[in-house]
Amino acid sequence: MIVRTRLAVGAALLLVFTQAVPASAAGPLKHNTNRYVGSAVAVQHLNAEADYKKVLTREFDSVTPENEMKWGVVEAVRGQYDWSGADAIVDYARRTGKTVRGHTLVWHSQLPDWVGGLEAAELRRVVKDHIRTEAGRYRGKIRAWDVVNEAFNEDGTRRQTVFQEKLGDRYIADAFRWAHAADPKAKLYINDYNIEGLNPKSDATYELVKSLKRQGVPIHGVGIQAHLSLMYGFPSGMKENIARFAALGLDVAITEADVRIPLPVTPEKLVSQADYFEQVWDACHAVRRCVEFTTWGFTDRHSWVPDVFPGEGAACLFDENLRPKPAYTRLNP
């Protein structure tokens, strides 16, 4: 997903409601589970904000670059690469003993303009080169890659991206094969939103990965983003959905979890948010092959939500002042 900047509305209320919540006596969140516990991270905040870096380093053992590995960032102009942000995050992870989730190799959004105008044969060569270049650069340094991101519509049909329209159904299998060739040890995932529960979109994802497995395509897992909202209710059948992917011999990862609150924030809404986070956490822990719980950012200071969903916000485990919210303490009692 796209990372945005600050949460302005409701911040004062949120501070009041979270000041009394102490940090957990149990220690960092990463010590409270045998799963990877991660957060998306932006290099500009990592470099500029000591308190942000301190909490990130203390609480999590995995990081996902928010934007720094996306095609539109690393190669906005054809043949001109900018690895500075991605390199900085990978180096930070190495120095602090964290793993890295690479995000993302093939996605229709945040795509350089020059890619969309290519003819099919050249597009295929360019996608292959992009995957081999990026995954190859970080060979041995990335625990897991989101290889293909958001390939389906809500009704389970293929999203008509430039890749689908010009390369056809085979582009997904090809992408996984190219990524595996570039970094044979990395775990390779398909990643999507609104596939948390049992629905047409998760059914389509299930059928796709089952087919890819049958073809011998090197796919190792399914990434469930888990961008949730109190306005729409908790997804039905989340544990069962995770279990059916695991039964195919795949790992499952919660890759981008957050829970949006309709503003203004109230104590009751914070409790409901905590319920949602706990249900996602518990659904993952109920299935052995659910191996990761990653949130899309950890502080409301830097959240994509208000810019994309007007009237909603406060979606993270920590408030703008980096104080833990009830959701955090529910996961780390």
Q: Is 256 an annotated catalytic residue?
A: yes
- DSSP class of 197: S
Cβ count within 10 A of residue 317: 28
Handedness of CA 258, 261, 263, 266 (dihedral sign): negative
Distances (CA, A) of 165 to 70, 118, 159, 160, 309: 21, 12, 9, 6, 29
Q: Is 66 an annotated catalytic residue?
A: no
Closest residue by Cα to residue 131 from 166, 165, 171, 175: 175
- Please pick, among 68, 75, 150, 292, the residue that the annotation labels catalytic: 150
Alpha-carbon gap, residue 274 to 265, rounded angstroms: 13
- Please pick, among 134, 256, 292, 312, the residue that the annotation labels catalytic: 256
Give the CA angle between residues 196, 284, 204 to the nearest 5°.
Answer: 30
**Exposed, middle or buried, 4 (CB in 10 Å: 0-12/13-18/19+)?**
middle
Residues taking part in catalysis: 150, 256
